[in-house]
Amino acid sequence: MCTSNAVMTGKVVIVTGANTGIGFEIAKSLAKRGAKVILACRNEETACIARDKIIAQTNNSAVIFKPLDLASLKSVRAFCQDIIETEDKLDILVNNAGIASSSNTYTEDGIIELMQVNHFAPFLLTLLLMPLLKKQPSRILNTSSILHYLGAVDLVNLNKKSCNDVKCYMNSKLCNVLFTAELARRLRETEVVVNAIHPGIVNTGISNNLNVLYATFFKIWCWFCQRSVLEAAQTFIHLSVTDEGASVSGKYFVDCSERFMSWNVNEKVGRELFDLSIKMVKYDGVGLSGLCSDKFAI
C-alpha cells in the first residue's frame, strides 16, 4: 500500500477508464488528496455515477467527467482539444483504460480494436496532451501487465487478424512497455517522466468478454491472488504522489517497486514501434518539435 500522505492540491489529473475498477480507485485517492481529477470515460452514465460517488466520499467538487472513447481516434482528438482549451496544465496522465477482448474486430480507424484501445489510442492521447504536460514537471503512467513477458511485436503484422484475443492482449501490453521506454528516452531532456505499471492480477471485469475457458482461468487466477481493486491501484498512487515517481522514468513497476522488463524491450524495437504508431494514428507532430525524430529537440 502507498503510505505517502502527500497532498495534491493544485494538481490536475486525467484518469482514463475511471468509472469503474482500478481507475475509479486511483481517481478517488487523488481527489481525496485535493487534486482536480478528470474522469475520461466512454460510458457517460457510469462515469457520472462514479463522479458523484467520488465527490461525496472526498468532499472534493473538482471532479469532472469528459467523454473519451479510445475505440475512436476522432474521439481522442476531440477530448484532447477540449482539455487543451480548458486546462492551463496537466500534472498527471494515467492511461488506465483497456480491454482484453474485441473478437478481432477493426475500429472505424482501420485498427484492430484491442490494439487501438490498449496501445494506439493512449499513444495518440499522450502525444496530443504533451504541450500541457511539458509546462511543468509531470508524470505519465501507463497500465501494462505481467503478461507483457509473453508478448511479441511483429511490426509487419501488428494490425492483422493473426492471433487470438489473449495473444493480442499480451502483445498490446508489451507495446505499452516499449512505448514507455521509448517515450522516456525521447523526453529525457524534459521534466516529464513516464513509467509502466503492472497492477496485479485482479478481477475488474476486464475478462467479461473472453471466451468461457479463458475467463474461467482468469477468475481462478484472481481467486488465488486475492488482490482487491484498491490494492491494485496502489502503485499508480505511489508513482503519482511520491518523490520516486518524479525521479524515475522509462521503468516498469509492480507493487510500488521497480522490476525487470521483458527482454523483448529494446531500443531498436521501441523506436520502430513508436514511428509505426505515428503513422497508424496519423499524428502530424504539431507542437512537439523533435519528438518524432531522433534529435530529441523537444
Catalytic residues: 169
**Phi, psi of 265, deg, nearest 5:** -85, 105
Concatenated DSSP letters of 113-163: HHHIIIIIHHHHHHHHTHHHHTTSSEEEEEE--GGGGG----TTTTTSS-S
Question: Do 85 and 66 form a contact (C-beta atoms < 8 A)?
Answer: no
Give the Cβ contact number of residue 72 at 10 Å. 18
Integer-rounded Cα Rg, in Å, for the chain is 18
- What does the alpha-carbon distance between residue 142 and residue 49 come to, in Å, rounded to a whole number? 25
In single-letter form, the type of residue at position 44 comes to E
Question: Grid coordinates standing for 200?
Answer: 496485479
**Residue 237: CB partners within 8 Å, gap ≥ 6?**
2, 4, 26, 29, 30
* Structure-derived torsion over alpha carbons of residues 182, 173, 153, 252, reported in degrees to the nearest 10: 40
- What does the alpha-carbon distance between residue 9 and residue 35 come to, in Å, rounded to a whole number? 5
Question: Do 42 and 252 form a contact (C-beta atoms < 8 A)?
Answer: no
- What does the alpha-carbon distance between residue 4 and residue 220 come to, in Å, rounded to a whole number? 32
